């Protein structure tokens, strides 16, 4: 009989071992916020059964991201979560998992691509995709917001911006969904790890071929922009280019899916906020940020301490892995008034959902562009909405995203 995976072993631990906030439980998946609030109140800096420290207070998380001696990898160079046997995917070489000069070099080059013509011209394509999804939903009398809009829009846009043809979009959607699990692959059963590796190989092979094609015939897409990108004579090397393309695909896909799906769910459950937005469309930008604060697609990210740090009377040793619980920080009552209230008129929504410091999300403007179009377009055009709550389902993804969000228009 096969040995149980680390995930299965951890799942079998009593809830007390996780201080009442077990990230592997169905209750946490469906609503993590009561458990995170209990952590904030009772044990805001706590050691988990993994040997990982969880930080739940806004100020502690912000300090670690912006002002503390941290890295993305352990002192031996390994990543704290990724599958150590996954060599072809080389996900640990993605710039967001790197530190120091190498991270800055890659980030500067990729930022140039993300501020290029390929991104600036996306607004029309985003609006068109949102309009098509809404028209189909109106004709059908309802839709699965998740599949028909929250997944469909980001997958179409990231493929379009990368230069991936529409005919390949659905297979890319599947590969990206599998590849996302690389963030916690070492905890998963061997069969799941194999699928993650296979997705990494498939993506790498595909992008290898695409890069070769674009080197011969540059176009107006992100892969071509990455090839063109230069910074003081320093170019992305070919292997780096493929890894950055894969990483950007994975990072931009499910996170934006979460922004749109989680955000629209918040509006459906708070119809007075929809009425407020309808009466004052200038609140849309603020509303997108409130969606990100209220139910972030990224409940936590990690950092590794490069030297010992004391936080709230506890000494965390060098090489400690920290889980920065962004979802908890975004609802910290010491930072936000009525934090469990969804309020699109909230002032100073300085949420943590895009991270902070040198690893602040470089795609944040693109995500906001998609979020504004999808959330604003949907709420301005559809009639009264009835949530089919017994069919709603949260995903088992690393990110906090819905698997199903079916609604009827009445």
Q: Is the dihedral of CA 289, 295, 301, 307 positive or negative?
A: positive
Contact partners, residue 190, CB within 8 Å, separation at least 6: 2, 5
Question: Does 117 reside within a domain?
Answer: yes
Instruction: Yes or no: say if 81 and 186 are a contact pair by the CB < 8 Å rule.
Output: yes
Q: Is the dihedral of CA 303, 306, 311, 316 positive or negative?
A: positive
Give the pLDDT confidence score for residue 88 in this predicted structure. 47
Q: How many domains does the chain have?
A: 1
Q: In angstroms, rounded to a whole number, what is the distance separating the alpha carbons of residues 221 and 5?
A: 41
Helices then strands, counting H and E runs in the chain, come out as: 17, 14
CA angle (377, 118, 243) in 5-degree steps: 105
CA distances to 12, 111, 308, 371, 390 from 289, rounded to whole Å, are: 37, 22, 34, 9, 28
Question: Does 210 reside within a domain?
Answer: yes
Q: In angstroms, rounded to a whole number, what is the distance separating the alpha carbons of residues 152 and 222?
A: 19
Question: Does 344 reside within a domain?
Answer: yes
Q: In angstroms, rounded to a whole number, what is the distance separating the alpha carbons of residues 162 and 183?
A: 22
Q: Coil, helix or strand for 343?
A: coil
State the angle between helix axes of 364-381 and 284-294 in degrees (0 to 180), rounded to the nearest 10.
110
Identify the CATH number of the domain in which residue 108 sits.
1.10.630.10
Instruction: Yes or no: say if 361 and 354 are a contact pair by the CB < 8 Å rule.
Output: yes
Question: Does 174 reside within a domain?
Answer: yes
Q: What is the mean pLDDT of each run of 10 residues along the chain (410 residues)?
A: 65 79 86 95 93 96 92 80 53 69 78 65 90 97 97 90 88 84 74 85 88 89 78 67 77 89 98 97 98 96 93 96 96 97 96 86 85 97 94 89 96
Give the pLDDT confidence score for residue 91 in this predicted structure. 56
Question: Does 1 reside within a domain?
Answer: no
Parallel, antiparallel, or unpaired: how do β-strands 385-387 and 309-311 relate? unpaired
Question: Does 202 reside within a domain?
Answer: yes
Question: Does 240 reside within a domain?
Answer: yes
Beta bridge partners of 304: 71, 321
H/E element, 116? none
Q: In angstroms, rounded to a whole number, what is the distance separating the alpha carbons of residues 148 and 376?
A: 16
The 3-state secondary structure of 246-298 reads HHHHHHHHHHHHHHHHHHHHHHHHCHHHHHHHHHCHHHHHHHHHHHHHHCCCC
Give the pLDDT confidence score for residue 241 in this predicted structure. 77
Beta bridge partners of 46: 54
Number of neighbours of residue 13 by Cβ within 10 angstroms = 13
Question: Does 40 reside within a domain?
Answer: yes
Identify the domain containing residue 22 by its residue range: 6-409
């Amino acid at each position: 009989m096969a040995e149980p995976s680390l995930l299965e072993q951890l799942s079998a631990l009593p809830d007390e071992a996780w201080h009442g906030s077990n990230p592997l439980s169905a209750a946490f998946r469906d609503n993590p916020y009561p458990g995170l609030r209990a952590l904030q109140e009772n044990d805001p800096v706590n050691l988990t059964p993994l040997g990982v420290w969880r930080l739940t207070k806004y100020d502690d998380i912000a300090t670690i991201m912006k002002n503390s001696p941290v890295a993305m990898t352990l002192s031996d160079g390994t990543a704290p979560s990724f599958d150590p046997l996954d060599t072809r995917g080389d996900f640990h070489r993605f710039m967001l998992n790197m530190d120091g000069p190498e991270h800055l070099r890659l980030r500067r080059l990729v930022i140039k691509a993300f501020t290029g013509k390929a991104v600036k011209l996306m607004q029309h394509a985003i609006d068109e995709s949102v309009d098509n999804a809404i028209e189909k939903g109106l004709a059908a009398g309802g839709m699965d917001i998740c599949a028909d809009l929250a997944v469909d829009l980001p997958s179409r846009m990231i493929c379009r911006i990368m230069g991936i043809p529409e005919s390949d979009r659905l297979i890319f959607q599947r590969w990206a969904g599998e590849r996302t699990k690389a963030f916690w692959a070492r905890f998963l059963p061997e069969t799941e790890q194999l699928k993650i590796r296979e997705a990494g190989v498939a993506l790498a092979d595909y992008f290898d071929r695409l890069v070769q094609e674009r080197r011969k015939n540059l176009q107006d897409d992100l892969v071509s922009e990455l090839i063109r990108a230069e910074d003081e004579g320093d170019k992305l090397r070919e292997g780096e280019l493929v890894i950055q393309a894969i990483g950007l695909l994975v990072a931009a896909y499910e996170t934006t899916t979460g922004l749109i799906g989680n955000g629209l769910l918040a509006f459906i459950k708070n119809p007075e906020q929809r009425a407020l937005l309808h009466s004052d469309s200038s609140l849309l930008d603020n509303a997108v940020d409130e969606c990100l604060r209220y139910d972030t697609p990224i409940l936590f990210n990690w950092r590794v301490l490069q030297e010992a740090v004391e936080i709230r009377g506890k000494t965390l040793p060098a090489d400690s892995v920290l889980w920065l619980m962004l979802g908890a920080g975004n609802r910290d009552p010491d930072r936000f008034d009525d934090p469990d209230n969804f309020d699109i008129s909230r002032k100073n929504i300085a949420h943590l959902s895009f991270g902070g410091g040198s690893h602040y999300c470089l795609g944040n403007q693109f995500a906001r562009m998609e979020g504004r179009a999808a959330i604003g377009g949907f709420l301005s055009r559809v009639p009264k909405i009835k949530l089919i709550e017994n069919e709603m389902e949260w995903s088992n993804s690393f990110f906090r995203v819905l698997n199903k969000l079916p609604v009827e228009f009445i």
